C-alpha cells in the first residue's frame, strides 16, 4: 500500500538525520572507538539515582503538575539565578519538559505559524530545522564559519532577517563546533534583536560546560533582552542525566502559558522520577557548590586539551573549542569529503566520528569528535586517526 | 600541595602510565613544571609507589585473603603505633588500619593457603603480648578495589553515535 497520500508531505519530505546513516554503519563494527557520542560518559551521580529510587519506593507514581513539581520549579528558578543571573517566577515562567528536545519543539510550536521564518545558525544540533518545519514554519540557516570561530555575527544575523522573521535560535555553547558566545558577542546580537524585535530561543544545555576561564553568559541577562528570550536548558549534559529526559523552558509568562498549553495536551508532564532526580541534582548542587558539575567539567577540560593538541599535532586546522564536549577539526587538507573521511576512518581504523555535513551543509570539511570518553580511549583514537591521515 | 600537583595526582590516580607529555597537555602546564610536580609528589611521599591493581582470580596463583579485626592494649606513651608497627612488619600483612569502633586495628592479610593463614593468626599475630583478641573473616570474592570494578564490564551503555 502506498501511504504517500496519507502522510503529511511537508514532514515526510524532511530527510532523516545524517547521523542515523552513520549510526547504522558504526554499530555493526567490532572494536570501534566511538567519538560520535553526544552524551556524557559519566553516569548520573549516585545520590541523584538514589533520589529517584526513593521516590519510587515512596509510591510517587502519579502525574505531577503540568508545569512540573513546584518544588522543582522553585529549585530551577534558584539555579538559573545563582548560576546564570536569570530571574524567573517558578509559578508562571518555567515549564519542566521531557528533555530540552521537547522544550525546543513546544517553544517553536508556540510561536511559529505558516510563513514564519526562524533563523538557525549552522552548523548546529540536528533537530532545530526539522522542528521548525514540524511547527509549520520555515527554517532560515545562518552560516557561521571557522573565521569567526563559528560565532554568530551581528552582520550575518542582520542579513538573514526579513519581515517574516519570528525568532532566532541561539545554540551556544554549540554542538557540534564547541563554539561559545562571549558577552561582547551577545551585546551586538542584542542590539539587532532590540531593533528588529524578534524572539530568541537560547539553547543553553551546555551552559555549565565552558572552559579557558570563560563563564557562560546567558542571553537573557543582556540588558532589555529578558522579554524577548526563552531560555532552554536541561539536566542531561550538566548532571549526566541524558536518559532521564528532563529539561525545562523559561521565559516571559504569556509565552510560557502557551508553551504549557501544548505541553499539557501533548505530554501532560515530564516523568515523575526524572523530576525527583532533577530536584536532588539541584538541591545537592546548591548545598555543595555544584561539585558533581565541577568534577565533570574539569575532566572534560583535560580531555579537551588532549584532543585539541592531538589534532593540531596531526597538522589539522582545529580552532580551540571553549564549550560543550566536542572538537571540530577541519579535514579539508586531506582532500576527502567529511563523509568519505568518516567512512574510511571507521572501516580502516575503527574510529567513529560524525561528518560535519550531518549538522548542515556548511559543516562540510569538518568532523565532530566528542571527548565524552575515557582518556585511554581518546589516546588510542588519536593514534589511529594520525595513522589514518598518514596513510592517505 | 599546588593546584598543578593536585591535578597531576588526579590524572595519575586514574592511569599512572600516562606519558608526562600527555599530562602536560591535559593540564595546560609545561613539561618541566609537570615533571617537577611529579618529583615533588614522590619526594614528599604523596605518591609512594606505582603498582597495578591485579585481579588475582584470573591468575593461576593460589591465594587466600582475610581481614582480621584485632583488639590490642595500647602501650604507654606509644599508643597503638608501636603494636601496629610490629604487625605490619610481617610479610603476610598487606594493610593495617587503626579503626574507630569495637576493635582497634584492621589487618589485611594474604597467604598462599588457608593453612598458612591460620598459622599466621594463631602463631604470629595472637601471640603478640599486646594483642587481646582477634576475629578473622576470609575474603570470598572481590567485587571492587580502589575504585575498579572486577566484574566483567557491561559496556558503555550508550549508543555508538548520538546527535
Residues of chain B with pLDDT > 90: what percent? 81
Q: Which helix (H) or strand (E) holds A91?
A: none
Residues A268 and A298 in one domain: no
- CB within 8 Å: A37 and B15: no
CATH code (residue B11):
1.10.10
Can you give the CATH number for the domain in which A276 is found?
A: 3.40.640.10
Q: How far apart are alpha carbons A201 and A164 in whole angstroms?
A: 16
Q: Has residue B163 been placed in a domain?
A: no
Cα–Cα distance between A206 and A176 in angstroms, integer?
11
**A31 beta partners:** none
State the pLDDT confidence band at A259, using cuts at 50, 70 and 90: very high
Out of A27, A126, A298, whose CB is closest to B163? A126
Contacts of A131 in chain B (CB under 8 A): none
Q: Which of A288, A321, A347 is the last residue of a domain?
A: A288
pLDDT score, position A16: 86
Predicted confidence at residue A135, as pLDDT, reads 96
**Within an 8 Å CB–CB cutoff, is residue B147 touching chain A?**
no
Looking at the fold, whether B75 and B27 belong to one and the same domain comes out as no
What is the b/e burial string over A116-148, where b = at least 16 CB atoms within 10 angstroms of the residue's CB? bbbbbbbbbbbbbbbbbbbbebbbbbbebebee
Helices (H) and strands (E) in chain A, counts: 13, 12
Q: Is B123 within the bounds of a domain?
A: yes
Question: Which grid coordinates belong to A348?
Answer: 580502516
Q: Which residue of A has its CA nearest to B22?
A: A306
Task: Please tell me if residue A192 touches chain B, with a CB cutoff of 8 Å.
Answer: no
Closest CA to B97 of B89, B32, B88: B88
- Shared-domain flag, residues A64 and A180: yes
C-alpha to C-alpha distance for A144 and A121, rounded to whole angstroms: 6
Residue A3 lies in a domain: no
Q: Are residues A296 and A283 in the same domain?
A: no
pLDDT band at A22 (very low <50, low <70, confident <90, very high): confident
Q: Annotate A156-168 with DSSP letters as a single string.
A: HHHHH--TTEEEE
Choose the closest CB to B18 out of A22, A127, A375: A375
Q: B98 with B28, same domain?
A: no
Q: Which residues in chain B touch residue A375, judged by CB atoms under 8 angstroms apart?
A: 11, 14-15, 18, 22, 26
CB-CB neighbors (< 8 A) of A26 in chain B: 160-161
- The neighbour count for residue A377, using CB atoms within 10 Å, is 17
Domain range for A297 is 9-44+292-391
Top pLDDT among A19 and A222 is at: A222
Note whether A281 and A167 are same-domain residues: yes
- Cα–Cα dist B82/B78, whole Å: 6
Backbone angles phi, psi at B104, to 5 degrees: -105, -50
Which residues in chain B land under pLDDT 70?
none
Residue from the list A19, A43, A125 with its beta carbon closest to the beta carbon of B161: A19
Provide the residue range defining the domain that includes B71: 61-140
Average per-residue pLDDT in chain A? 96
Q: Are residues A85 and A172 in the same domain?
A: yes
Residue A1 domain-assigned (yes or no): no
- What is residue A381's predicted lDDT score, i.e. its pLDDT? 98
Q: Tell me whether residues B158 and A17 touch, CB distance under 8 A.
A: no
Judge whether A302 and A375 are in contact, CB under 8 Å: yes
Number of domains chain A is built from: 2
**pLDDT at residue B109, as a whole number:** 97
Mean pLDDT of A13-26: 83
Condensed to tens digits (0 to 9), the pLDDT of residues A331-365 reads 999 999 999 999 999 999 999 999 999 999 999 99
Q: Which residues contact B29 (CB under 8 A, 6 or more apart)?
A: B4, B37
Q: Is the same domain home to B68 and B135?
A: yes
pLDDT tens per residue, range A148-160? 999 999 999 999 9
Q: Do A37 and B14 touch (CB under 8 A)?
A: no
Say if the Cβ atoms of A37 and B161 lie within 8 Å.
yes
Question: Which of A254, A288, A322 is the C-terminal boundary of a domain?
Answer: A288
Residues in chain A closer than 8 A to B34 (CB atoms): none
**Cβ-defined contact of B161 to A36 (cutoff 8 Å):** yes
Minimal Cα distance from B157: which residue of A? A41
Q: Is residue A218 part of a domain?
A: yes
Cβ–Cβ below 8 Å for B161 and A126: no
Into how many domains does chain B fold? 2
B36 occurs within a structural domain = yes
Residue A45's Cβ-count burial label (10 Å; 0-12, 13-18, 19+) is buried
- For residues B31 and B99, membership in a common domain is answered with no
Q: Give the CATH number of the domain where residue B116 resides.
A: 3.30.70.920
> What are the cell numbers at A256?
510560557
In tens, the pLDDT along A285-329 reads 999 999 999 999 999 999 999 999 999 999 999 999 999 999 999
pLDDT number for residue A25: 82
* Same domain flag for A269 and A301: no
Report residue A249 as a C-alpha cell. Answer: 523552558
A101, pLDDT greater than 90: yes
Least confident of A15-29, A160-174, B63-77: A15-29
Does A21 have pLDDT greater than 80?
no
Residue A17 confidence (pLDDT): 83
Q: Alpha-carbon distance A137 to A64, whole Å?
A: 31
Indicate whether A37 and A60 sit together in one domain.
no
The rounded Cα A305 to chain-centroid distance in angstroms is 21
Same-domain status, A66 and A212: yes
A234 and A246 Cβ atoms separated by less than 8 Å: yes
**Domain-located, residue A101:** yes
Query: For an interface test with B, which of A16, A31, A37, A234 has the most B Cβ atoms less than 10 Å from its Cβ?
Result: A37
Q: What is the ipTM of this complex?
A: 0.82
pLDDT-derived band at A260, boundaries 50, 70, 90: very high
- Is residue B50 one of the residues assigned to a domain? no
Q: Per the structure block, which three cell numbers stand in for A287? A: 548545598
**Do B127 and B67 share a domain, yes or no?**
yes
In a shared domain, residues B70 and B31 = no
CA distances, A326 to each of A5, A27, A333, A386 (Å) = 41, 20, 20, 18
Mean pLDDT of A196-212: 97
pLDDT score at B116: 95
Rounded Cα gap, residues A174 and A124, in angstroms: 7
Residues paired with residue A119 on neighbouring β-strands, in sequence order: A140, A168
- Distance from the Cα of B120 to chain A's closest Cα (Å) equals 40
Residues B30 and B80 in one domain: no
Over range A196-205, report the average pLDDT. Answer: 98
Same domain for B81 and B126, yes or no, is yes
- Do B90 and B120 have their domain in common? yes
Residues B73 and B136 in one domain: yes
CA distance A192 to chain B (A): 30
Give the model's pLDDT for residue B160: 87
Distances, alpha carbon A60 to alpha carbons A54, A97, A170, A274, in Å:
9, 18, 36, 11
Residues A297 and A283 in one domain: no
Please check whether residue B153 lies inside any domain of the structure.
Answer: no
Residues A54 and A155 in one domain: yes
| Rounded mean pLDDT, A166-192 | 98
A4 inside domain: no
CATH number at residue A332: 3.90.1150.10
Say if the Cβ atoms of B22 and A379 lie within 8 Å: yes
Amino acid at each position: 500500500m502506498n501511504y504517500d497520500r496519507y502522510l503529511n508531505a511537508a514532514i515526510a519530505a524532511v530527510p532523516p538525520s545524517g547521523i542515523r546513516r552513520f549510526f547504522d554503519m558504526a554499530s555493526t563494527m567490532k572494536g570501534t572507538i566511538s567519538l560520535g557520542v553526544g552524551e556524557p560518559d559519566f553516569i548520573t551521580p549516585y545520590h541523584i539515582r538514589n533520589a529517584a529510587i526513593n521516590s519510587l519506593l515512596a509510591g510517587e507514581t502519579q502525574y505531577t503538575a503540568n508545569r512540573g513539581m513546584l518544588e522543582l520549579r522553585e529549585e530551577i528558578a534558584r539555579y538559573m539565578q545563582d548560576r546564570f543571573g536569570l530571574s524567573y517566577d517558578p509559578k508562571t515562567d518555567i515549564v519542566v519538559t521531557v528533555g530540552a528536545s521537547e522544550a525546543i519543539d513546544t517553544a517553536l510550536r508556540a510561536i511559529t505559524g505558516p510563513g514564519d521564518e526562524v533563523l538557525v545558525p549552522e552548523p548546529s544540533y540536528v533537530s532545530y530545522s526539522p522542528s521548525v518545519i514540524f511547527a509549520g514554519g520555515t527554517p532560515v540557516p545562518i552560516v557561521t564559519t571557522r573565521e569567526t570561530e563559528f560565532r554568530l555575527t551581528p552582520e550575518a544575523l542582520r542579513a538573514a532577517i526579513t519581515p517574516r522573521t519570528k525568532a532566532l535560535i541561539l545554540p551556544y555553547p554549540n554542538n557540534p563546533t564547541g563554539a561559545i558566545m562571549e558577552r561582547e558577542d551577545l551585546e551586538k546580537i542584542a542590539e539587532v534583536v532590540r531593533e528588529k524585535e524578534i524572539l530568541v530561543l537560547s539553547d543553553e544545555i551546555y551552559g555549565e560546560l565552558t572552559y579557558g576561564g570563560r563563564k557562560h553568559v546567558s542571553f537573557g541577562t543582556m540588558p532589555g533582552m529578558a522579554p524577548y528570550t526563552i531560555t532552554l536548558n536541561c539536566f542531561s549534559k550538566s548532571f549526566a542525566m541524558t536518559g532521564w529526559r528532563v529539561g525545562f523552558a523559561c521565559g516571559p509568562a504569556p509565552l510560557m502559558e502557551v508553551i504549557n498549553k501544548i505541553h499539557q495536551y501533548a505530554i501532560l508532564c515530564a516523568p515523575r522520577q526524572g523530576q525527583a532526580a532533577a530536584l536532588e541534582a539541584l538541591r545537592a548542587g546548591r548545598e555543595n557548590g555544584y561539585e558533581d558539575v565541577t568534577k565533570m567539567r574539569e575532566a572534560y577540560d583535560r580531555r579537551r586539551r588532549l584532543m585539541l593538541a592531538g589534532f593540531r599535532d596531526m597538522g589539522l586546522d582545529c580552532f580551540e573549542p571553549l564549550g560543550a564536549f566536542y572538537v571540530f577539526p577541519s579535514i579539508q587538507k586531506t582532500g576527502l569529503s567529511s563523509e568519505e573521511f568518516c567512512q574510511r576512518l571507521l572501516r580502516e581504523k575503527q574510529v567513529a566520528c560524525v561528518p560535519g555535513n550531518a549538522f548542515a551543509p556548511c559543516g562540510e570539511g569538518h568532523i565532530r569528535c566528542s571527548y565524552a570518553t575515557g582518556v585511554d580511549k581518546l589516546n588510542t583514537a588519536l593514534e589511529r586517526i594520525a595513522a589514518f591521515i598518514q596513510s592517505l | 600541595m599546588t593546584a598543578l600537583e593536585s591535578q597531576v595526582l588526579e590524572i595519575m590516580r586514574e592511569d599512572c602510565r600516562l606519558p608526562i607529555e600527555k599530562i602536560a597537555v591535559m593540564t595546560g602546564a609545561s613539561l618541566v613544571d609537570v615533571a617537577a610536580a611529579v618529583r615533588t609528589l614522590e619526594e614528599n611521599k604523596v605518591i609512594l609507589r606505582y603498582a597495578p591493581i591485579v585481579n588475582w582470580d584470573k591468575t593461576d596463583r593460589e591465594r587466600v585473603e582475610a581481614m582480621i579485626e584485632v583488639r590490642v592494649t595500647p602501650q604507654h606513651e606509644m599508643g597503638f603505633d608501636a603494636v601496629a608497627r610490629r604487625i605490619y612488619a610481617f610479610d603476610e600483612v598487606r594493610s593495617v588500619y587503626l579503626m574507630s569502633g569495637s576493635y582497634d586495628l584492621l589487618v589485611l592479610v594474604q597467604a598462599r593457603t588457608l593453612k598458612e593463614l591460620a598459622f599466621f593468626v594463631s602463631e604470629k599475630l595472637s601471640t603478640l603480648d599486646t594483642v587481646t583478641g582477634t576475629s578473622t573473616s576470609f575474603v570470598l570474592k572481590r567485587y571492587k578495589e580502589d575504585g575498579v570494578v572486577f566484574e566483567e564490564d557491561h559496556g558503555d551503555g550508550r549508543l555508538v553515535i548520538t546527535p
